[in-house]
Amino acid sequence: KAGVTQTPRYLIKTRGQQVTLSCSPISGHRSVSWYQQTPGQGLQFLFEYFSETQRNKGNFPGRFSGRQFSNSRSEMNVSTLELGDSALYLCASSSGTSDHNEQFFGPGTRLTVL
Amino acid sequence: GIQVEQSPPDLILQEGANSTLRCNFSDSVNNLQWFHQNPWGQLINLFYIPSGTKQNGRLSATTVATERYSLLYISSSQTTDSGVYFCAVPGGNYQLIWGAGTKLIIKP
């Protein structure tokens, strides 16, 4: 079974631009979660989607948004990039049937904002 | 909300040594996961262990849910074990709450 895939793996953008990251979950999984990892703040929850519906959103500004498609693939978008958005963005896949399903992570997208 | 604390924050060992990493959590949980983050950032699932003991090769984990802690044991460390080890628990509403991690360096 293929694992979680994320594209692109690396991105370099400048302040003010926008970026879209993609995540494809494990086949059969319907839940995708997104996390931001920075050296100072650790792993922070962004949002979770299940069957195209956002079930939870973390404490991030509205510049961070996401969506999920009918095939469970998910995208997250960050608009008007700031230097502080430089981070590793990780997505996680699970069956989504309960709050405590095991989660599996993709390799991450490393975003650098200049 | 639930809080997760990991100790020690850093650990430097010689190859072949054994180590114990600890994860404390502030409330009862239905699940606990241990991950290894390699130098490239990939989070690798080690254990899904809400309670009891599990073993996988040189690694084992024990969660004592009633006392709100989990331990990760690494025996006969190898340089490839280097990286950051995280524990995470469900924080409600389909999100994981993470510890700050233990950075492990194994010297040859």
Instruction: Give the closest-approach CA distance of B93 to chain A in angstroms.
Output: 6
Closest-CA residue in chain B for A99?
Answer: B94
The CA radius of gyration of chain B, in Å to the nearest whole number, is 13
Q: Which residues pair with B78 in a beta bridge?
A: none
Both structure tokens of A65: 């948004």
Report, as an integer, the average pLDDT of A94-100.
89
Query: Residue A1: which pLDDT band, with cuts at 50, 70 and 90?
Result: low
Closest-CA residue in chain A for B42?
Answer: A107
List of residues 6+ apart from B55 with CB closer than 8 A: B61
pLDDT digits (tens, 9 = 90+) for A28-51: 999 999 999 998 788 999 999 999
∠ CA B73-B74-B79, nearest 5°, is: 155
The answer to whether B44 touches B36, Cβ cutoff 8 Å, is yes
Residue A96 has a pLDDT of 87
The answer to whether B24 touches B102, Cβ cutoff 8 Å, is no
Report, as an integer, the average pLDDT of A65-88.
97
Instruction: Give the closest-approach CA distance of B80 to chain A in angstroms.
Output: 18
∠ CA B101-B104-B105, nearest 5°, is: 150
B30/A108 touch (CB, cutoff 8 Å), yes or no: no
Residue A2 has a pLDDT of 79
What does the alpha-carbon distance between residue A6 and residue A76 come to, in Å, rounded to a whole number? Answer: 11
A6-20, A73-87, B85-99: segment of lowest average pLDDT: B85-99
| Residues of chain B scoring pLDDT < 50 | none
Both structure tokens of A32: 């995708």
Selecting from B35, B95, B100 the residue whose C-beta is nearest the C-beta of A45 gives B95
